[in-house]
């Protein structure tokens, strides 16, 4: 099992297996199992960050030991989940975002269907923040 980061949400996930040529089954730190496109996954090492590697499509020629115990355990995530954070937590945790902007982030989240962010692209509606820099700093994720 390998550890990856979902490029769309920033969430750390454990690679469980291939679903087909372009999809993988992954497990979040909360134990939720979902399917993610292989192109949306990027390798991740604990205490180092993103590695830049991506999972390769499954080959039928590779033999896999199904009875082997998984080695990877998802580490505790110290990043901030924007779908669960308060305005105060966002302002304190993310450098460059003040309390007024944090309140706008919460207002935007509450205006969305299901009151949840689905991807980092939705955050770009909030001005005065260099979202590319915040995402690259790996301080936040969406779960």
pLDDT for res 56 = 64
pLDDT for res 110 = 94
pLDDT for res 111 = 94
In whole angstroms, how far apart are CA 65 and each of 1, 68, 70, 119? 12, 6, 10, 35
pLDDT along the chain (143 residues), means of 10: 84 85 85 89 79 65 68 72 93 91 94 92 88 87 87
pLDDT for res 30 = 79
State the Cα–Cα distance between residues 24 and 52, nearest whole angstrom.
17
pTM greater than 0.75 (yes/no): no
| Residue 18 contacts residue 28 (beta carbons within 8 Å) | no
Domain boundaries of the chain, sorted by first residue = 1-77, 80-141
pLDDT for res 31 = 82
pLDDT for res 113 = 92
pLDDT for res 132 = 87
């Amino acid at each position: 099992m390998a550890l990856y980061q979902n490029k769309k949400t920033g969430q750390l996930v454990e690679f469980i297996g291939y679903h087909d040529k372009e999809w993988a089954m992954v497990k979040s730190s909360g134990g939720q199992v979902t399917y993610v496109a292989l192109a949306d996954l990027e390798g991740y090492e604990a205490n180092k960050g993103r590695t830049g590697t991506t999972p390769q499509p499954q080959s039928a020629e590779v033999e896999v030991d199904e009875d082997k115990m998984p080695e990877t355990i998802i580490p505790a995530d110290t990043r901030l989940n924007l779908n669960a954070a308060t305005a105060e937590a966002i302002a304190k945790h993310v450098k460059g975002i003040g309390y007024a902007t944090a309140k706008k982030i919460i207002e935007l989240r509450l205006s969305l269907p299901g009151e949840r962010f689905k991807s980092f692209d939705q955050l770009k509606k909030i001005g005065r923040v260099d979202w590319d820099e915040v995402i690259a700093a790996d301080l936040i994720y969406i779960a």
